[in-house]
């Protein structure tokens, strides 16, 4: 992994585990060309490793079958072969390849695998700081966003509207709100 040395200099070295109870993995996608459907994944895990020289690396796993959009019929369709094919591809993964400063924030680049297809993605990363925590160990907070094209990952279902456009947009905005706990703190 390449990274700018000390890309995240305010984070102590060690392994930071994503705290699922205080984190979220959400998304939004255009629906019927006029609004957005929002959803989230309820099962995910990951870690942020900060090396002695300050070099960070990030890895994460999302259980795609844990999707919820607050509509069971839609969720079942999204889990089907038309979209995620969750039975054959139950996990989406992310492994970072670099973290570089960009203004007051960072650019997190990595390999994202969804439905058996791996593509490089860039996430705008905001580091929210660290805190001593509330008895479970030191915590760090992050927000990250990216936009992917569903078709790049083999989710190419056609659902055209009679008036033009599509039931489901191509661009998916992914939003991560992450709280991580330093192991052994």
If we measure between CA atoms, which residue out of 151, 145, 105 comes closest to residue 129?
Answer: 105
**Rounded CA gap, 104 and 50, in Å?**
19
pLDDT at 180 over 90: yes
- Report the CATH number of the 14-182 domain: 2.40.128.110
Residue 88, pLDDT score = 97
**pLDDT band, very low/low/confident/very high, at 174 (cuts 50, 70, 90):** very high
C-alpha separations of 170 from 20, 37, 51, 54, 115 in Å: 28, 13, 37, 37, 15
How does strand 56-63 pair with strand 67-68? unpaired
Enclosing H/E stretch for 78: helix 72-79
Q: Is the pTM of this model over 0.85?
A: yes
pLDDT at 34 over 90: no
Q: 3-class DSSP state for residue 98? A: strand
pLDDT digits (tens, 9 = 90+) for 120-168: 999 999 999 898 888 778 999 999 999 999 999 999 888 777 877 777 8
| Six-digit token string for 183 | 């192991």
pLDDT digits (tens, 9 = 90+) for 39-87: 999 999 999 999 888 889 999 999 999 999 999 999 999 999 999 999 9
**Rounded CA gap, 168 and 161, in Å?**
10
Burial 80-116 (b: 16+ CB within 10 A, else e): eeebbbbeebeebebbbebbeeeeeebbbbbebbbbe
Residue 55, pLDDT score = 85
Instruction: Give residue 110's Cα distance to chain centre.
Output: 11
**Where do the structural domains in the chain lie, given as residue ranges?**
14-182
């Amino acid at each position: 992994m390449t990274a700018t040395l000390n890309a995240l200099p305010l984070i102590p070295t060690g392994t930071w585990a994503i705290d699922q109870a205080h984190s979220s993995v959400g998304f939004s996608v255009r629906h019927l060309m006029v609004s957005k459907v929002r959803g989230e994944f309820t099962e995910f895990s990951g870690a942020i490793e900060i090396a002695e020289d300050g070099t960070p690396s990030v890895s994460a796993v999302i259980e795609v079958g844990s999707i919820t959009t607050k509509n069971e019929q839609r969720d079942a369709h999204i889990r089907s072969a038309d979209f995620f094919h969750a039975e054959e591809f139950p996990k989406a993964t992310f492994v970072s390849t670099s973290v570089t400063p960009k203004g007051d924030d960072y650019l997190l680049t990595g390999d994202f695998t969804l439905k058996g297809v791996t593509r490089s993605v860039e996430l705008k990363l905001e580091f929210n700081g660290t805190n001593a925590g509330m008895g479970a160990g030191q915590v760090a907070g992050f927000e990250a966003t990216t936009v992917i094209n569903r078709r790049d990952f083999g989710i190419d279902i056609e659902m055209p509207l009679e008036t033009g456009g599509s039931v489901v947009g191509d661009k998916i905005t992914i939003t991560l709100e992450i709280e991580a706990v330093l192991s052994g703190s």
